Amino acid sequence: MTKEKLASAFAAVAEKDEKAFVAYIMAGDGGLSSLKEKILHLQEIGVTVVEIGIPFSDPVADGPVIQEAGQRALAQGVTLDKVLKELASFQNEVSIPLVVMTYLNPVYRYGLERFAEDCVKAGISGAIIPDVPLEEEDEIRDPMKRHSLALIRLVTLTSPESRIKNIAQDAEGFIYAVTVNGITGARTTFKENVPSYLKKIKELSPVPVLAGFGVSSSEQAAELGKHCDGVIVGSKIVELFHTGNQEAIREIIPKKAGQTVQAE
């Protein structure tokens, strides 16, 4: 249940000439007991990876939909410790890779080594920690490396090529290519330079490049996927689970590269 599982999942998708689809959910939104049901549903409809958000009081990268989901989870007493224990309780039923998305403060308070150890017990393959810049990641990267967990790096639209090269060097799991200047949340359009931005990262990256932030339909996913290895969808999926319309999630997933299905 380590970063090799991520590599295998992406390789399997590429072999079928398809694009990876990463689905984000907020752990504990709707109750921690719903986490298993959500992950197994996403697994059943064919997502490549599930990204599990850890609720946090100051989620600087998250838009209103995910912020509100985090507040609902926090109101029910959901913590990093409880999420990892819940995941560990059913990890043998999960065949697709899982990654956690959290901020540094909960991890630091939890204990860096303990965090890495418990991620392995929970069937986690890697972590996204958006408030840890490249220059400050060694402290968390070392325990994760010891446990063969991927520390997934982010690239933004404002990153110059020299920084993209530094981020891509020794990248693990996949690179999270942020496609908007701002927080998460559905967008109707993307900047004109997004395709060339994604292509540039792909040229420099030794691992798959996935586009995230703002993706909410199969058309957007397919269009962005032409320029990278897949997409990450968060706010739309969080919204559909919250409204009890999770069956519509499968309609966001493009079936093959360049082929779309009708979006919800």
- Which residues participate in catalysis according to the annotation? 51, 62
Q: Per the structure block, which two tokens stand in for 51?
A: 């990204």
Helix intervals (H) in the chain: 3-15, 35-45, 64-75, 80-90, 104-110, 112-121, 138-146, 161-168, 194-204, 218-225, 235-242
Instruction: Please give the C-alpha separations between residue 103 and each of 49, 130, 180, 199, in angstroms, as whole numbers.
Output: 19, 6, 20, 28
Contacts of 241 (CB under 8 A, 6+ apart): 25, 29, 30, 38, 249
Contacts of 98 (CB under 8 A, 6+ apart): 39, 49, 50, 51, 52, 87, 122, 123, 124, 125
Alpha-carbon dihedral sign for residues 100, 102, 104, 105: negative
Q: Per the structure block, which two tokens stand in for 31?
A: 């109750």
Sheet containing 230-233: give its strands across: 150-152, 124-128, 98-101, 49-53, 20-26, 230-233, 209-212, 175-178, 154-155
CA dist 176 and 154 (Å) reads 5
Residue with tokens 């330079």: 193
